[in-house]
Structure 1
Amino acid sequence: MTDIDEALDWRGEVVDCASCAHRDLLAWQRCQPLKACVHDRYARRIDRFFDWNPALAQYYLTHPYFEVRACAAKAADVFHLPPLLDDPEEAVRWSAARRLPTRYLLRLRTDPHREVRIRVAQRLEGADLIPMIQDVDYLVRQTVARRIPADLLVLMIGDADVEVRRVVAVRIGLGHLSRMATDPEAGVRLEVARRLDPANLGAFAGDSDWRVRYEIVLRADVEVVRALLNDEDPIVREAARDRISSNIAIFTSPALASADARERPAAEDGR
C-alpha cells in the first residue's frame, strides 16, 4: 500500500472518521475517506472537502496545517481573508490574495516569496506595477514587462536582465525602440531589428551577430543588402544574393518590360 492509498493526516497519523467532528457528513455524502476529507494530508482531498462544504471553510482559516488554510481560503467568505495576507506560508497568502480586491494585492508587491510577487504582477495593471519594475527577481520584472502599459516600458530599457529587455523590445513603442538598437545582447538587437522600419535598418548591417545581419538581409532596403553580399557568414551571404537576385528578376520580368514599353510612347509624345 502506498501513501496515496492511505488516509493519513498532516502529522502522519491515520484519519479516524469515528472521532471526526464532521462524521455526520458521511451519511449525506458530503465527505468521503480517500476522496474528500479536511483531515487528510493531501491537498486535493482537502480542497474537495471544502468544495462540498464551503460553509465550513471559515472555521479552518487558522488550522495548523498550511494546506488546510490554503484550501479553506479558496472557499471561505472573502471578508474573512485579509488576515491571511500575513500568513507565514506563501501558498496561503496567495490563496487569499487571488480572491481579494486589487487594493489588497498592493501590499504583496514586496512579498518575500517571488512566486507570490509574480502572481501579484499577473493581476495588477497600469501604474500599480511601477514599484515592481525594480524587483530583485528577473522573473518578476519579466512579468511586469509583459503587462505594464507600453508607454511605461521606457523605464525598463536598461534592465539588467537580457530576457526582460527582450520583452521590452517586443512591446515598447516605436518612438523609443531605436534606443535599444545598441543593446549589448544580440537577442535584444534582433527583436529591435524585427520591428524597425526597413529604412532605418542600415546601422545594423555591420552588427556582430549573424542573426541580426540575416534579419537585415530579409527586411532592409536593397542598397543595404548589397553591403552584405560578401558577409563572413555563408547563410547571410546566400540570403543576400537571393534577395538581390529576386529584386533584379522583378525589375526585368516580361510583365514589367511590357508595361514599360506601353508607357514609353506616351512619355515620348509629351516631349
Structure 2
Amino acid sequence: MITGPTDPVGVEDDIPPVDWHGVPLDCTVCGTRSELIRCERGHACVQDRYAKRIDRFFRWNPQVSNDYLTHPYFEVRAIACRQADVFRLQPLIDDEDETVRLSVAVRLPLAQAVRLRSDPHREVRIRVAMRLEGRELLAMANDDDYYVRKLVARRLPEALVPRMLDDREWEVRLEAVKRVGMPALLRMCDDREIAVRREVVARLPVAQLYRMAHDPAWEVRWEVAQRAGRELARLMAHGDEEAEVRDEALARLRTLDQQTGEQHE
C-alpha cells in the first residue's frame, strides 16, 4: 500500500472514516491493501462511505476500476464507472441504483445509451437527452418529465422542432418557439401562455407583427410596439387602450424617425 497526501485537505477531514455500513475503517483488515495500490485512510479509500474519498481512490488507482463494478455499495459502482473500460459498462444499464445508471449514461456509446431513454429515473433520462441526436432524441418527445421534453425541444434538429409546439407545458413550447422559423411560428400567435406569445413577437418578421397588435395581454402588445414598423406603431400610439403600450409605440416612432434622419445625413 502506498500512502501520502497529494490532494489538498478540506472539510471532509471532519467526516469520520467509516465504511458503507457505518463501521469505523480498519486498514489492517482491508482486502484492498497492496504494494501497487495507493490509498490513505480518511482521504482516498474505496472502503469509505464518503463519495469524495472513493472518487479520489479511483483517480489514484484507475487500473482497478473494472474490479469494482459489482461492488455492493452503489457509490463505489457509480464512481468506478467513471474510470472503468467502456466495454465493461453495458451490464450496468440495468443496475438497481439510478446513480450508477447515471454514470453509465454519461459514458456508454450512444448505440447502447439509447436503452436508457425509458429509465424510470428522470435524471438518467435527462442525461440521455443531453447526448442523443436526431430521431433517436425525437423518441423522447413524449417523456413524462417536462424538463426532458424541454431538452428535446432545445436540441432537436431545426426541421423537427415544430413537433414540440403542441406540448402541454408552456416552458417546452417556449423552448420550441425560440428555434422554429416561419411559417411554423405563426401557429403560436394564439398560444394560451403570455410568455410564449411574447417570444413569438420577438421572432416574427416585422411585416407579420400586425397579427399580434390586438393581443389580449398588454405585455404582448408592448413587445409589438417595440418592434413595429412605422404604420403599425402609429396605429398603436393612438389606438391602444394601455398607456404603457401607447408610450412605447411613440418611442418606437421617434426611433424610426431618428434612423430615417441618420440615413439621409
Among 79, 100, 103, the alignment partner of 1:95 is: 103
SS in 1 for 2:72: coil
- Most deviating of 73-82 and 198-207: 73-82
Corresponding position: 1:21 with 2:31: yes
Q: CA RMSD in A?
A: 2.2
Q: Which residue of the partner structure matches residue 180 of structure 1?
A: 188
Return the alpha-carbon distance in structure 2 between the equivalents of residues 76 and 156 of structure 1: 37
Q: Which of 213, 228, 241 pairs up with 2:250?
A: 241
Aligned equivalents of 2:259, 2:143: Cα separation in 1: 52
- How many equivalent residue pairs? 254
Matched AA of 1:171? R
Correspondent of 2:235 among 227, 244, 267: 227
Judged with a 3 Å threshold, the aligned counterparts in structure 2 of structure 1 residues 249 and 171 are, in CA distance, closer, same or farther, namely closer
**Letter matched to residue 10 of structure 1:** W
Counterpart amino acid of 1:86?
A: D
Partner AA of 1:142 in structure 2: K
Give the distance between the partners of 1:255 and 1:149, measured in 2 at CA.
39
Percent of residue pairs identical: 48
Task: Give the match for residue 262 of structure 1.
Answer: none
Query: Where in structure 2 are the equivalents of 1:110-259 lying within 5 Å?
Result: 110-229=118-237, 230-248=239-257, 256=264
- Return the letter of the residue paired with 1:241: L
User: What SS class does the counterpart of residue 120 from structure 2 fall into?
Assistant: coil
State the distance in 1 between where 2:124 and 2:262 align: 65
**How much does 1:29 deviate?**
7.5
TM-score by length of 1: 0.87
Paired residues of 2:37 and 2:61 also in contact (CA < 8 A): no
Give me the TM-score of the superposition, normalised by structure 2: 0.89
Amino acid at match of 1:121: A
Please name the residue that 1:65 is paired with: 73
User: Aligned pair in 2 of structure 1 residues 112, 236: CA closer, same or farther (>3 Å)?
Assistant: same
Equivalent position of 1:267 in the other structure: none
- C-alpha distance in 1 between matches for 2:43 and 2:225: 61
Distance 1:238 1:15, change over 3 A: same
CA change 1:203–1:126 in 2 (3 A) is same
**Cα distance between partner residues in 2 of 1:215 and 1:24:** 69
Contact 1:151-1:173 at 8 Å conserved across structures: no
Give 1 or 2: higher helix fraction.
1
State the Cα deviation string for residues 36-89 of structure 1 (Å, max 9, x = none).
000000111101111111121112111111001101111111221111000011
Closer/same/farther in 2, CA of residues 106 and 254 from structure 1, 3 Å limit:
closer
Distance (Å, rounded) in 2 between the aligned partners of 1:116 and 1:174: 34
Q: CA deviation at 1:255?
A: 8.9
Distance 2:200 2:47 in 1: 55
Unaligned runs of 5+ in 1: 260-271
Rg bigger for which structure? 1
Separation in 2, partners of 1:195, 1:180: 11
Distance 1:29 1:66 in 2: 21
In structure 2, distance between residues paired with 1:195 and 1:250: 21
Question: 1:130 Cα deviation (Å)?
Answer: 1.4
Q: Which runs of 5+ in 2 are unaligned?
A: 1-11
1:180 deviation in Å? 1.1
Tell me the distance in 2 between the aligned counterparts of 1:47 and 1:150.
39
Deviation at 1:214, TM superposition (A): 1.4
Aligned to 1:268: none
Query: Are 2:105 and 2:124, in contact at CA under 8 Å, matched by a contact in 1?
Result: no
In the alignment, is residue 11 of structure 1 matched against residue 21 of structure 2? yes
1:132·1:141 contact (CA, 8 Å) conserved in 2?
A: yes
